[in-house]
Amino acid sequence: MHAVATVGRAKEAVGTPDAAGTLRAGGVVMDLGRRRARADGREVVLTATEFDLLSALLRRPGLVHSRERLLSQVWGHTAAAGTRTVDVHVAQVRAKLGDASPIRTVRGVGYTADA
């Protein structure tokens, strides 16, 4: 039982910003305080929405986020946008991150980020 608790804490720590307010997933590093992102060491310019979308995914790596959940979390409950908006923004983030992108599609459900 102790081993299970330890694994659970380790999983929580992956998506939790460190003391400097940084999220990491593979080659992607996000500085939440400065709202900057790097992919494989190079600066990546993200719009505010793209940054919020990526940080939502990286805060809970491994969790599958439905498009509806991401719409609510990133665009707000009153968003007039449809779920296709999420797909378009995910594609833009992936293009900017290139091979370093930790975002994976879960067909028919939504998106997840690898830790």
Q: What CATH number is attached to the domain comprising 14?
A: 1.10.10.10
Asked whether 58 and 23 are in contact (CB, 8 A), the reply is yes
Residue 9 has pLDDT above 80, yes or no: no
Between 40 and 14, whose confidence is greater?
40
Tell me if residue 11 falls in helix, strand or coil. Answer: helix
Q: What domain count does the chain have?
A: 1
Asked whether 92 and 50 are in contact (CB, 8 A), the reply is yes
Average of per-residue pLDDT values in the chain:
86
Axis crossing angle, helix 48-59 with helix 83-97, rounded to the nearest 10: 90
Furthest-apart CA pair in the chain: how many Å?
Answer: 46
Q: Which domain holds residue 19?
A: 2-113
For residue range 27-72, what is the model confidence (pLDDT) as tens digits? 999 999 999 999 999 999 999 999 999 999 999 999 999 999 999 9
pLDDT at residue 78, as a whole number: 63
